[in-house]
């Protein structure tokens, strides 16, 4: 048994990669990392650490990665009793994937915001909650650091003067670029309630906010941070 079944590594041409997985097995397992075409991977350093009589950690590392190294690999781990396969994806580093499961609960002039983080694109990512009214940013949260992939994050915004008509987004950003969650909007009736998620891109030719922040900065009382937002057509 292994601790994971899939591993994704985002790398660049001039940086290497390193990953490991813990294996529970007895007797000691054998392992091999195969490319998608079934051939053995070349130039990858590997080692096996014995943690206990039935607990092992397999390590893989490559200092320099070429574009031909990108792709899907299979890590076969086996002993006399059977075999486990771990699928390893090496992909170019990119902007983070869009935050998921975005929801906002409004209560008077405050909003509780919650979302689930996605793949960070291979770099550390941060999040910012934005509030728009008629296309203009009227409020935003402080920059929040990612606590891990598929982890629930939350924040709260206060002093929202006009709850009705506000549109909310979560922006995820790393050093390559940024991506936006789907939007959520306050219901038309007054008082507390759940913000309704606006699902975009359900039909061909619809538009989604790809949300692009020209610069990320921490917002303090003495400073103002300006964001440039643009819309792009989602590919069919």
Note the pLDDT tens digit of each residue in 174-208: 988 999 999 998 754 344 333 333 333 332 332 33
Beta strands in the chain (DSSP E): 6-11, 17-24, 30-34, 45-52, 55-62, 71-79, 82-92, 100-107, 110-116, 126-133, 136-140, 144-145, 152-157, 166-173, 178-180, 183-185, 193-194, 196-198, 207-209, 231-233
Q: Does residue 21 form part of some domain? A: yes
Distance CA 17, CA 8 (A): 10
Q: Are residues 156 and 206 in the same domain?
A: yes
Task: Give me the percent of the chain exceeding a pLDDT of 70.
Answer: 77
Q: Are residues 111 and 215 in the same domain?
A: yes
- Quickly count: other Cβ atoms within 10 Å of residue 205's Cβ: 8
What is the per-residue pLDDT for 85? 96
- The mean pLDDT value of the chain amounts to 80
Q: Are residues 122 and 211 in the same domain?
A: yes
CATH number of the structural domain spanning residue 133: 2.60.40.1930
* Better-predicted residue by pLDDT, 51 or 64: 51
Q: Are residues 50 and 128 in the same domain?
A: no
Total of domains in the chain: 2
Distance CA 209, CA 196 (A): 16
**Domain span including residue 24:** 6-92
Contact yes or no for 192/163 (Cβ under 8 A): no
127: nearest Cα among 168, 164, 90, 158: 168
Distance CA 58, CA 77 (A): 9
């Amino acid at each position: 048994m292994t601790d994971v079944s899939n591993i994704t590594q985002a790398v660049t041409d001039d940086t290497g990669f390193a990953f490991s997985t813990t294996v529970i097995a007895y007797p000691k397992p054998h392992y091999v990392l195969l490319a998608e075409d079934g051939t053995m991977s070349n130039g990858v350093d590997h080692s096996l650490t014995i943690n206990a009589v039935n607990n092992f950690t397999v390590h893989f590392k490559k200092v320099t990665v070429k574009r031909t190294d990108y792709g899907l690999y299979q890590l076969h781990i086996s002993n006399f009793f059977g075999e486990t396969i771990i699928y390893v994806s090496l992909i170019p580093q990119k902007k983070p994937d869009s935050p998921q499961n975005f929801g906002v609960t409004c209560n008077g002039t405050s909003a509780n915001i919650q979302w689930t983080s996605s793949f960070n694109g291979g770099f550390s990512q941060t999040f910012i909650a934005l509030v728009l009214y008629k296309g203009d940013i009227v409020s935003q949260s402080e920059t929040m650091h990612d606590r891990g992939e598929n982890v629930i994050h939350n924040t709260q915004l206060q002093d929202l003067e006009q709850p009705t008509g506000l549109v909310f987004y979560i922006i995820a950003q790393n050093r390559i670029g940024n991506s936006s969650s789907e939007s959520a909007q306050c219901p038309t009736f007054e008082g507390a309630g759940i913000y309704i998620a606006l699902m975009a891109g359900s039909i061909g030719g619809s538009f989604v906010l790809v949300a692009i922040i020209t610069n990320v900065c921490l917002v303090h009382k003495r400073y103002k941070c300006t964001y440039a937002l643009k819309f792009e057509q989602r590919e069919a």
